[in-house]
Structure 1
Amino acid sequence: MLTKNAFANIKAGPDDGLAEGEFIGYASVFGNVDSYGDVVMPGAFAADLERWAAKGDPIPALFGHNMSDPDYNIGEVLAAEEDEIGLKVHVRLDLEAPKAAQVYRLLKGRRVNQMSFAYDVIAGGYEKRKKDDSEESEEFYALRELKLYEVSVVPIGANQETSILDVKSIPSVAERVATDLKAGRVISAKNEGELRTAHEALGRVLSVLDSDEEKASGTGPSRKGGTDPAADEASLNPSVDPSAVLDALALEIELSA
């Protein structure tokens, strides 16, 4: 199973016609050569979209193609179709799941703006064509028929032409807290809890950075000389939620404005 990523431009607005937690975008764009030298051809998804429709199961929406952790199964595709641009998907995120809610904030804040899909090649082959406005030719691998497993929101893309078209906007925790404070209102228990979580996550990141600096300078414990390699390994890969950290930083910027 392979994955293919694409850039996504996010457009948000109050009259987007989407329910809270939904967004529309392109998981794939036809015709352009991506960084792998592949071109997804029109019709590549047609047969498999019919298969999904016949099954009656929703196409999963994940974050970062993480299929091993249910927390990263963040939603479902409500509708998918091919148009003249590419594979257009209407996704609904499960906002009751913490990871999905975080991804939704990232999408609305334009901190993540790319999509991807996981697939197998059913039919494909090498082709040549002339480059635009040039007599030179380019060779590429044409993906003519694909089996689709899921679509994902991802941090980095290979195909830089796919776009997320609409995102239903809701205020971030930073926006909600800043609004409450500026209006002289007491911070709600929910916002206070989210703020404390972000603050604690930021503290863990700073602690890890200090620890890494000590190791790099030779003043801290070394994995080579440690007695517990598993613990050392865990210390190098801390469980810190980057979205919570970014929310804390966003809040600090809002309050200092």
Structure 2
Amino acid sequence: MTDVDTAHAVLQSGLVPRGTRVEVFDTIFTVFLVLGTAVGVVVIGYMLYNGYKYRDGVEREEVKKADADRPTLGELPTGGGGGRKLFLSFALSTIVVVSLVLWTYATLLYVEGGAQAQPQDPIDVEVVGIQFAWRFTYENGHQELGTLRVPEDRAIRLNVTSDDVFHNFGAPALRVKTDAIPGQRTTTWFIGEDPGTYQAKCYELCGVGHSSMNADIVVMEPAEYEEWYASTGGETNDTANESASLVGARGVSPV
């Protein structure tokens, strides 16, 4: 069984966190924080113990007696207690590291395809980066510039590209970020758990107006979103096709 097969097995085992990207990445952070803290406590505690044990003034005979079973550098342990401790420490470290790598990889596999794992089909939105704004196109053909409206607790799948130079679409509060590359399409997803307005930015230096290339992601109550979506009727927001006017109003020009 390859590492990829093992990771897929872990993914199906129920050990991998599921839910929104926020929940998944927060779980990864918590696991690494707890394990890192535990390792730090053990290592620092062992260092302090040895610092005390071998402190200046301790009787040398006591030290020699305590180190009698310690294996010699370059030689295999011969069954002493120190050798067993060394072997167990390496074995335990290997198990922890390999398990953590497989768990993290399986979790990231879920993140890559999490939109398909949700109870409802995801809503597809086309996202196009232009200097210096974001254009959003919904499934009914409706377009908006600078504002993405989505329903609460529903997976949103973003198909991201660029009309000019390299951009990078990211919304930190929703743990979503992906490249916008001319001639290519990258896909990512997110779920807005709480109604409100979240800011998205461009995270790839793209010209003199880069710092103003922002967008609002408005998470709405499902009923409110359905009412708004029905009102669009597949019509295109006039400003969505007037990016040059918007760029000029900001006092910047494409480069």
TM bracket (short chain): under 0.3
Q: TM-score if structure 1 supplies the norm length?
A: 0.23
Q: TM-score if structure 2 supplies the norm length?
A: 0.23
Structure with more of its chain in strand, by fraction: 1
Rg (Cα) greater in structure: 2
